[in-house]
Amino acid sequence: MEMYIGFCQFSVCWGDKERNFKKVENLFLEIKEIKSLKIIVLPELFSCGYLFLDEKEVSKFAEKVEGETYYFLRHLAKNYNSIVAGGFLERDNNNFYNSALIVAPEGDYLLYRKIHLFKDEKDIFEKGNLKLNIFNYNNLKIGILICFDYFFPEAARTLAIKGAQIICHPSNLVLPYAPLITQVRALENHIFWILANRIGVEKRGDKELKFLGKSQIVSPKGEILMKAEDEEVLKVVKINTEEANNKKVTDKNDLFLDRRREFYEI
């Protein structure tokens, strides 16, 4: 299946959902002339920002699954004929999660909670407690991970084994080698990878983070098909999803059929 996939990279305004939503919608105007189905990925926690100083702040911006961010993503999906993925701060009773949604034009969605928490996130969020699953939409098989999850090859491999052709990767990356590792993840699983990072600096209290940008789309062969530097931008590229169904490295080697699980200790 031929289709467009892309990322939306921008500087998130901490605590200002309305402004962030407006920024994203303005960037989506770049694809208004593309009428066919698309997959677009937004950054981690794109609606509210990343650095929280205490539980009171977290509670203020947290949402139920079908909250403000879900309805905004649903609006984008419907109006731009897109499958849209992006991160949000989720409230589930008294628990808070660094979560993300994949939302289809009809409003169907997949919820994912980040399972590998990075640094100070461990002081704020609960560990994700949902299994790694596939969003199946009209024979498209889409997986999702959040930021630091990329550091764990088991996560991407699990999604690939479950049939993922494309992995959406909403991120707030600060480590410089992250884009390279996501290239490797795409290659070692023969899948498409959409890395959507943010840019800018976020400073709150005595904490400060600079986000590196460098969003990119990677092919099943590990090739960078499209990338950004540190600009606010929405970029897309046309792909053929069938390429992700071919797991052969040579005519005698298949990435999945050649696995020797009897020798693996993890």
Residue pair 23/14 in contact (Cβ under 8 Å)? The answer is: no
Give me the active site residues, please. 44, 114, 147
Contacts of 98 (CB under 8 A, 6+ apart): 44, 45, 87, 89, 90, 113, 114, 117, 121, 125, 128, 146
Contacts of 48 (CB under 8 A, 6+ apart): 12, 14, 15, 17, 20, 61, 88, 89
Residue pair 147/86 in contact (Cβ under 8 Å)? The answer is: no
Length of the chain measured in residues: 266
Residue 188: its H or E element? helix 178-189
How many helices, marked H, and strands, marked E, lie in the chain? 5, 16
Buried b vs exposed e over 125-137: b needs ≥16 C-beta within 10 Å? bbebeeebbbbeb
